[in-house]
Structure 1
Amino acid sequence: MWTTVGEITNYGDSVNVQVEDIDNSDWVLELEDIEKDTAKIIQHLNKNERKINGTRHKFQKGQILYSKLRTYLNKVLVAPNDGFCTTEIMAFGSYGILSNNYICYVLRSLYFLDYTLQCGYGVKMPRLSTTDACNGLIPLPPLAEQERIVNEIQRLFSIIDIVENGKDGLQTAIQQAKNKILDHAIHGKLVPQDPNDEPASELLKRINPKAEIITDNGHYQKLPVGWTICRLKDISKIVTGSTPSKSNCGYYGGIFPFFKPADLDAGRHVYKAAEYLSEDGKRASRVVPKGTTAICCIGTIGKVGYLMYEGATNQQINCAIPSKVVDSVFLFYLCASPLFNDKLNSESSAVTSNYSAPLWA
């Protein structure tokens, strides 16, 4: 059945206590101690640990603590212990045999939140009046169902907490999985080999007759049949970026993308640049085509991105423009692989174009 907060609780009957009457060892709860939305206690300080004056509300363990200030922050909880709180928090209990946890969850629900936002007063620091709070409608199920609802909410919230706490680990696992896939790809373990394919050594001769053919070495054990090792410069044109003079304002503010290392955070698909050049700025730059692999060579060495549009880069980026017989996306994945990245960092003082990579045809 429907009821109201005022019919089932003593909301508004707060016990006021002067700060000088609170013992130094008593818990004093302030609004900043409560996390928004989750209503978790993020710090627990006693009176002697904070500078306070004036009046506080006294509360007991198990009572509902409701922040009437800026209700959209959803700072509503059941008190885990006795203590004293700011007068912006209303401490109250329920009449009869009711679940305070259930009432707490109703007060935190979007339904009740919408109600408080409609009747709150004040612009910068909106508050809920005692009258409006007591008139707030609450759907009240039987006690046993209240308890089942609370148990199910707590079960689901615990799952959400596990997911939330595991976000960093999940991101690490995702990155490790990506690295493993790339590692398998450049070692010929990702897809079946076709013995009828033209050997990569023959392909390399057609790409660059002067290229050094390396069938295997100590860094690349168990190279698949038909594969070879070559230099990045043998299968692509390397272009080092440059920055048009900043003293010439006419070079900037156009529509031609000027990519920088931070833009490569997009990864495989780099559509946008933080800065754009004019036509004059474009002519003063080293233009690279769509499908170029951009490789950061200063700062975060090895960060790569696949340019989805023609553009230019600054001097912190070397661009690999693929040969016509090398798939541009395959080249990107080669340069994004852990093997290439490790090689890049181990020889960071060398020229990017000299780094070697496995080539598959």
Structure 2
Amino acid sequence: MRASITDVAGRAGVSTATVSRALRGLPHVSEATRERVLRAAEELSYSVSPHAAGLASGRTGTVGVVLPFVNRWFYGQVLAGIDAVLRAHDLDLLLHNLGDARVHRRFFTRMPLRRRVDGLIVLNLPLSAPETEALASMGVPVTVLGSRIPGFGGVCIDNRAGAATAVRHLINLGHRRIGMITGAPDDPRGFATPIARREAYRATLTEAGIVPDSELEARGHAGIEEGAAAMARLLSLPDPPTAVFAESDQMAFGALRTLRRMGLRAPADVSVIGFDDHETSELLDLTTIGQPVARQGELLARQIIGALAGRGEEPGHTVVPTRLVIRGTTGPVRTARPSSRRPPEALTPP
């Protein structure tokens, strides 16, 4: 039978509260008492508890992950990478989904993960200065995805470079009328990714001597349905685009569905390029900007592991490269435009 904390307290001649404080390395326990408790715990093999290895340092054996959306493919892949590394080091993952601006504010007001985690991983959350200070005040290693924050570790891709590569690919194919299906630029939290990719889209057009046209920017947020609706809006323009850059592959999937339902094809009628290299992208022959999503999660977790191991290194920041993956949905611009399309209203979901 495994010894209990009561057994340790009896052997050491102290209260269970004192045993708890001594094993967790908390103050107000004399060194002589702490040594007596540790000796009693060792004699009783109390250290076989799965959490005992962290008790002396007060650790919880848990790493927190805070993210804005729990139901999106990208975050699921990042979490898979994080979880694989944490499990290999016998650490648990505690997930906190902020969901919307209201939950975001409540999280930073209450700081529910304080004293519940040994480290914290923050995924693509825009952080104000007070919010950054609140995270730092937790006294645990923090690493962030998608941002550079002094004092925190971090992992990111170069969103501007990736988006510029996508648009430049379309320009090199002869396209001049290039649309974009963008993310959530109007979210009150001010997510950096859609802003960076949209700015790169405009800047790359300008560098090529193409005047950006706001009519060619359609909001698709992050899903297939939204991407489909955004593509329908672009194709309903009097002068629709010959090519479209979708800010995520899932939005590009929706765009391709709209083309198919209108009797059009990519790239014969409209070229389409996405961003992510989702596992379905190869199946749909989608040209895209690839990024190693799960790998970013692994790197984040390894940064936390290194900090918890006490290696004494300054928090680092890793930039993960993206790459252009050319498949079958992009091609040279056509000189003749399609003569007929199904009316956009026919694409409205039931």
Which TM-score bucket, shorter chain as reference?
under 0.3
* Length-normalised TM-score, structure 1: 0.24
Q: Relative to total residues, which structure has the larger helix share, 1 or 2?
A: 2
Higher relative contact order (CA 8 A, sep 6+): 2
Computing the radius of gyration from Cα coordinates, the structure with the larger value is 1
